[in-house]
């Protein structure tokens, strides 16, 4: 396993500046992630909060029961006990429960959180436990209902042939029987080698054991990170909703103030030259309510609160009371989710992706509005995996590693141009110039005989150019054919490294790699996680 470092950060503009030049965006955050000495201040804040009004026994009981159901290890139970007694703090990350854990970056987030928790625990002399917040509230099924598999024919999409009725939270969706057809397609698209059959057996068995998609996701994450003591948090569990009721209540009672703070934050971020990651809506409540099982957005309308269509209406005080008596009926949006997380857990810091860094930049004063402090935000690791056949292609054609994040399309065009022994473009451009010049001279002379021949001369030039262009295309086609082996190999490498023109970690899923190389692959990647410094790493497999 070889690791190379690129001077490449997240492509998201604000996240890029956050990592490379934090002072330019420091006013949007409470802590500098590069200054670990500031964490002593955060620990003092968490200690004071715990002594003042926080008891983690109920939280720990819920986490213990749920993680045991997911098949957790003794290490995870030990970490939960440390939280319960108040002796530990949590390093948190999270993601929607995608099929088979979703894109690669979900796994990278968990790995980054585990490694950083260990490092901070050693530096701060206090237990820091890794926590993964499952985004089971999310109802965007289309975002998580598929995976892409790296394949000799390019990236292959497998989509679940199932569509839920309406806007159901993923944590409320049962694992549908269509999942087994989905796994059959995965079997057909992966080679029958290595850990393939064991991996498929695991996926089928955990799917059968799981009540819903979020629980299936949790079982798979538990399998991958059991030995690391990762704690999974599923916020749709009713007891955790009860612990979130205070945030919901204040969100209803102070909705105009929350919207004002969000709008001010959007304006400040825009004034700094960035596009706000979250759109501010003056009448939005930032809470969803489950109405007939559907996750329904709520809005302020005059002196009432209602759904978008106005089919369900409440007085603010009525809805506020409902958040206390029926908290399981409510769900936070993207703005309040970090606030709920902060209210429930002793969060030392949050490990975030680029989009999250950008929207957390809007939340500093919203945390304060709820009587909380925005925690430090650490960037997640970012990797490109290079398998041996792809590594050989890169070496054979001396591809600069700095090209990998953007893909090899430009390199292939340059390669064809440099492999041209006669200068095809220049040859035909010169020919076109000569023809145009001679044709112009010819027309000037023949129009002395008959001025109406000027139009015929233009048509003659067009015909000549069509003949030249057709011949040029034929020559280029022969040239490409002479280099088709190189282009085919480079295209294959490009599809593995930058599929569909996107970052590899945002497209491919981890399980096809595990099936080929075994779950031990994750342990082989950990050294790159430990080296992560904000710059993208390239991991060459042996």
Range of the domain at 310: 245-332
Q: What is the pLDDT of residue 145?
A: 96
Same domain, 415 and 517: no
Does any domain span residue 280? Answer: yes
406 and 318 fall within a common domain:
no
In this structure, are 28 and 136 located in the same domain?
yes
538 has which bridge partners? 4, 384
Q: Report whether pLDDT(366) > 80.
A: yes
442 and 423 part of one domain = yes
Tell me if 388 is assigned to some domain.
Answer: no
| Cβ atoms of residues 267 and 353 within 8 Å | no
Residues 177 and 280 both lie in one domain: no
The 10s digit of each residue's pLDDT in 53-109 is 677 999 999 999 999 999 999 999 999 999 999 999 999 999 999 999 999 999 999
123 found inside a domain: yes
What pLDDT is attached to residue 431?
Answer: 86
Q: Would you state the pLDDT for residue 481?
A: 77
Q: Are residues 45 and 115 in the same domain?
A: yes
Lowest mean per-residue pLDDT among 30-39, 125-134, 242-251: 30-39
Structure confidence at residue 10 (pLDDT) = 86
- Region 131-152: what's the mean pLDDT? 97
- Residue-level length of the chain: 542
Mean pLDDT of the chain: 94
pLDDT tens, position by position, 368-415: 999 999 999 999 999 999 999 999 999 999 999 999 999 999 999 998
Are residues 42 and 186 located together in one domain of the fold?
A: yes
Q: Is 160 left (phi over 0), alpha (psi -120 to 50) or beta?
A: beta
pLDDT computed for residue 289 by the predictor? 98
SS3 149: strand
Domain boundary among 312, 332, 352: 332
One-letter-per-residue 3-state SS of 457-516: HHHHHHHHHHHHHHHHHHHHHHHHHHCHHHHHHHHHHHHHHCHHHCCHHHCEEHHHHHHH
> Is 390 domain-assigned?
no
Distance CA 149, CA 161 (A): 17
Decide if 222 is inside a domain.
yes
| 217 part of a folded domain | yes
pLDDT value of position 234? 98
Is residue 161's pLDDT more than 80?
Answer: yes
Percent of the chain clearing pLDDT 70 (strictly above): 99
Instruction: Out of 110-119, 214-223, 229-238, 421-430, pick the least confident.
Output: 421-430
Cβ-in-10-Å burial (0-12, 13-18, 19+) of 223 comes to middle
- Residues 56/346, Cβ–Cβ less than 8 Å: yes
Q: Looking at the structure, tell me whether residues 428 and 312 fall in a common domain.
A: no
Residue 367 tokens, joined: 């945390």
Residue 467: what pLDDT?
A: 86
Instruction: Tell me if the pTM is above 0.75.
Output: yes
Q: At what angle do helices 510-517 and 179-189 cross, to 10 degrees?
A: 50
Above 90 in pLDDT, residue 157?
yes
Q: Strand, coil or helix: what is 433? A: helix
- Number of structural domains found in the chain: 3
Dihedral in degrees, nearest 10, Cα atoms 387, 392, 398, 402 = 0
Same-domain check for residues 138 and 100: yes
Q: What is the pLDDT of residue 532?
A: 83
425 has pLDDT over 90: no
């Amino acid at each position: 396993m070889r690791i190379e470092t690129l001077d490449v950060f997240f492509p998201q503009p604000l996240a890029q500046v956050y990592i490379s030049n934090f002072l330019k965006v420091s006013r949007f955050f409470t802590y500098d992630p590069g200054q670990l000495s500031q964490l002593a201040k955060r620990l003092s804040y968490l200690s004071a909060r715990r002594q003042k009004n926080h008891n983690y026994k109920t939280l720990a009981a819920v986490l213990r029961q749920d993680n045991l159901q997911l098949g957790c290890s003794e290490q995870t139970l030990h970490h939960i006990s440390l939280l319960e007694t108040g002796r530990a703090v949590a390093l948190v990350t999270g993601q929607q429960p995608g099929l088979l854990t979703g894109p690669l970056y979900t796994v990278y987030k968990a790995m980054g959180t585990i490694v950083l928790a260990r490092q901070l625990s050693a530096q701060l002399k206090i237990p820091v436990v890794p926590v993964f917040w499952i985004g089971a509230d999310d109802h965007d099924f289309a975002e998580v209902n598929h995976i892409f598999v790296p394949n000799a024919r390019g990236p292959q999409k497998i989509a679940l042939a199932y569509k839920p009725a309406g806007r159901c939270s993923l944590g409320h969706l049962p694992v549908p029987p269509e999942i087994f057809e989905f796994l059959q397609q995965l079997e057909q698209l992966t080679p029958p080698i290595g850990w393939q059959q064991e991996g498929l057996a695991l996926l089928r068995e955990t799917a059968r054991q799981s009540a819903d998609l979020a629980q299936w996701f949790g079982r798979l994450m538990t399998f991958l990170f059991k030995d690391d003591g990762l704690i999974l948090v599923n916020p749709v569990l009713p007891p955790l909703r009860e612990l979130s009721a205070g945030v919901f209540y204040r969100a209803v009672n102070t909705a105009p103030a929350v919207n004002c703070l969000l709008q001010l934050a959007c304006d400040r971020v825009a004034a700094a030259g960035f596009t706000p990651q979250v759109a501010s809506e003056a009448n939005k409540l930032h809470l969803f309510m489950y109405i007939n099982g559907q996750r329904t957005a709520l809005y302020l309308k005059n002196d009432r609160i209602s759904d978008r269509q106005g089919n369900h209406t409440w007085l603010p005080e009525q809805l506020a009371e409902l958040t206390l008596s029926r908290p399981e009926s409510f769900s936070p949006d993207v703005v309040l989710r970090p606030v709920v997380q902060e209210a429930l857990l002793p969060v030392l810091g949050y490990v975030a992706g680029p989009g999250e860094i950008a929207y957390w930049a809007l939340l500093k004063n919203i945390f304060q509005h709820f009587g909380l402090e925005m925690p430090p935000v650490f960037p997640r690791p970012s990797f490109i995996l290079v398998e041996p056949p792809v590594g050989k292609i890169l070496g054979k054609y001396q591809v600069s590693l700095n090209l990998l994040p953007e893909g090899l399309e430009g390199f292939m065009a340059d390669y064809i141009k440099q492999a041209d022994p006669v200068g095809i473009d220049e040859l035909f451009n010169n020919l076109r110039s000569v023809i145009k010049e001679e044709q112009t001279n010819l027309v000037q002379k023949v129009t002395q005989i008959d001025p109406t021949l000027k139009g015929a001369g233009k048509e003659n030039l067009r015909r000549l150019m069509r003949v030249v262009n057709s011949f040029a295309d034929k020559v280029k086609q022969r040239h490409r054919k002479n280099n088709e082996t190189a282009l085919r190999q480079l295209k294959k490498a490009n599809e593995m490294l930058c599929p569909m023109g996107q970052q590899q970690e945002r497209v491919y899923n981890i399980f096809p790699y595990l099936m080929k190389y075994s779950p031990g692959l994750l342990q082989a990647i950990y050294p790159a996680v430990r080296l992560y410094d904000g710059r993208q790493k390239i991991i060459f497999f042996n």
